[in-house]
Amino acid sequence: GRAARGLPPLFLRQQATNDRKQISFTTLDSNFISDNIHIFLIDTKIKSHTAPLVQHFKELRKDEAYLNKFDNDYIPLISNCIATLIDKKDEDFFNYLSQLSKMQIELLSHTIPEATRPYFLKNIKDDGFQVKLCGAGGGGYLLGFCKDIDKINNFWNDFCNKIVWVK
């Protein structure tokens, strides 16, 4: 799909240099995602308030073990997802995304409604799609990725969830 208002998507990168962090950005082409990857939003119809979720997350980060896992395992997974998506390494992207989805259940379970947790355990090889949180939770949407649009439309129609195709 096209970026909002015709603006190209940006890839922001933060790198540590000596005692500073340097931020750079790259403008991406409109076709930066492989033609074989399709992105959709799933309306779970489950709403919650974001502020209490964020406050709970801040409390969790006070635990050193949680903070270490989040910073040393979770954040690099996000970076790997982004890098492989941009590099059009589809199989690697879906492998990282599967790990990310499972880690979201582990580290961010307070933001994931119980009814949607089974979706996070789905995978591209067996189920044809994978999902992750969309934003901080609370908005009622999940972000889904797949290869076969028809298969996914049929799956979600069976569950009466509305999906919106992004790409």
User: In terms of residues, how long is the chain?
Assistant: 167
Beta-carbon contacts of 108 under 8 Å, excluding residues fewer than 6 positions away, are 57, 133, 137
Determine whether 28 is exposed, middle or buried from the number of CB atoms within 10 Å of its CB (0-12, 13-18, 19+). middle
Nearest C-alpha neighbor of 90 from the set 121, 40, 130, 120? 130
pTM over 0.85: no
Per-residue pLDDT of the chain (167 residues; tens, 9 = 90+): 444 455 656 666 667 777 777 777 677 676 778 888 988 888 877 777 778 888 888 999 899 999 999 999 999 999 999 889 988 999 999 999 999 999 999 998 888 888 888 888 887 788 788 888 886 555 678 888 988 888 777 776 655 567 777 77
Say how far apart CA 62 and CA 164 lie, in whole Å.
37
